[in-house]
Amino acid sequence: MTKEEKKDLIETCSSLSKKFAERASEYDRKATWPVKDYEDIKNAGLLGIMVPKDKGGLGADFLTYTKSLEQLSTGGASTGLTFNMHNITAGILSESETKDIGGSRGKAMNDFRDWALGEIVNERKMFASANSEPGIGAHFSALKTTYKKVDGGYIINGYKLFVSMLGYADYYVVAARREQSSGDLPEISFFIVELDNPGIEIEEIWDTLGMRATVSNNMRLKDCFVPNDKLFLGTEGLGIFKLTREPHWVIGGYVGTYLGICQATFDYMISHLKKKKIPGTDQSVINRDWVQRDVGRLAVELEGARALVYKAAKMVDEHRGKPETNVAIHHSKYAVSELAPRLASDAIRLCGGSGIAKSLPLERFYRDARCGGLMPATSDECLLYAGKSALGFDLTQIKETYW
């Protein structure tokens, strides 16, 4: 993308975010899918934001994507999060260098990539991820969902939690381990399961603290048949190795969303404080030293987090998969995941009792922000990764990761 194209893309996302903000409260209250938000996203061609230009997409780099996601999420955090879930698949496929791989394996990889990117760009189809499971979260080495090879394809059995967009996305990338595969490093593969596959059952139980409009219901897979051509990139066993070497989509993809929540919270707080009067006077509370100091502290923390996020995203573009890049991604994920709820809590304190009113967005920002530290990699996992790196552990070794 040219510099001007990047600027226009970010401005488009900023414009859409204003529309999202007008609808966010209703979608949050009802925990319903943001239908109109996605009409806007599709009409703007954003489903193909990561798809290379030669495949019909916009061809954004990771930094531009991160900034675009940040803008979308200032208006609708749930919409931003689910948009990222789609782009985990689109981004991984867009980055996959398969054209020079020969033989039947190369053909299978290229055919799959072309099919999936074509579905996104030409058919405006959406992809979601089905990885988390009861008791283990997204720790892939402990997956209980299994698959086995049969004539013409594979059979999957298992149970998935927190499947964002379940019932609304067209395709689901399901992680499973090969039957009889056990030990510390089971063989993990990914499969594309269509929404209308008779082997899946949707359990509509989503009623949570925050990120309510992600509609992240549970999926039960029972003798779910997947044809050969829906094996992700036509290759078994990619799972843990890919996550270890290049974790930026599964981890760093969330970062723009939570940075957007931070910015939305800060902007609302500033707007509210400028209107707030010192009790019994006509003077604004922004004239108080302690208010200025607290706002200043939060401004510094927000800019510090943004610098970490942008630095990590730029490193992905320039040095994808390098150990220092992967560490930077974990730093940025921890920074925004921990700042977002703290900033929202402080904003509520500064704004006063009205901050908890359902008619205002601040309490929703707090609820959505609180979810960040629970998503891969969790805050504890980010610290573990950062600590191991500082101590000299070799994080290219799967056994040293948390997967």
Mean of the per-residue pLDDT values of the chain: 95
Pairing of strands 200-203, 188-194: unpaired
d(CA 128, CA 130): 7
Q: Which fold has domain 3-125?
A: Butyryl-Coa Dehydrogenase, subunit A; domain 1 (1.10.540)
Q: Mean pLDDT across the stretch 371-399?
A: 95
Q: What is the mean pLDDT of residues 353-366?
A: 94
Phi-psi region of 378 (alpha: psi -120 to 50; beta: other; left: phi over 0): beta
Per-residue pLDDT, 182: 64
Q: Are 351 and 276 in contact (CB under 8 A)?
A: yes
Q: Encoding tokens for residue 45?
A: 């061609």
Pair of tokens at residue 273: 């404080």
Q: Please give the CATH topology (third level) of the domain spanning 128-236.
A: Butyryl-CoA Dehydrogenase, subunit A; domain 2 (2.40.110)
Helix 103-122 and helix 77-95: axis angle, to 10°?
150
Whose tokens are 């991984």? That residue is: 92
Beta strands in 60-199 (DSSP E): 127-130, 146-150, 153-163, 171-178, 188-194
CA distances from 245 to 128, 307, 345 (A): 22, 24, 36
- CATH number of the domain located at residue range(s) 246-400 in this protein: 1.20.140.10
pLDDT of residue 104: 84
Least confident of 14-18, 52-56, 135-139, 320-324: 135-139
What are the pLDDT digits (tens) for 60-103? 999 999 999 999 999 999 999 999 999 999 999 999 877 778 88
* pLDDT tens column, 157-211: 999 999 999 999 999 999 999 998 766 678 999 999 999 999 999 999 999 999 9
Query: Is pLDDT above 90 for 287?
Result: yes
- Cβ-contact 47, 171 below 8 angstroms: no
CB neighbour class for 25 (10 Å; exposed up to 12, middle 13-18, buried from 19): middle
The pLDDT, as a whole number, for residue 102 is 83
Beta bridge mates, 365: none
Residue with tokens 């981004």: 91
Residue with tokens 């997409």: 57
- Residue 304 pLDDT greater than 90, yes or no: yes
Residues 92-140: tens digit of each pLDDT: 999 987 777 888 888 999 999 999 999 999 999 999 999 999 999 888 8
Rounded Cα gap, residues 47 and 117, in angstroms: 10
Distances 397 to 208, 239, 402 between C-alpha atoms, Å: 36, 14, 11
Dihedral sign of CA atoms 303, 325, 96, 130 in order: negative
- Tens-digit pLDDT profile for residues 209-233: 999 999 999 999 999 999 999 999 9
At 184 the pLDDT is: 67
- 240 pLDDT band (50/70/90 cuts)? confident
Q: Which segments of 320-390 does DSSP mark as H helices, in order?
A: 323-351, 362-369, 379-390
Q: Where are the domains of the chain?
A: 3-125, 128-236, 246-400
Question: pTM of the entire structure?
Answer: 0.96
| pLDDT above 70: percentage of residues in the chain | 99
Q: What is the pLDDT of residue 280?
A: 87
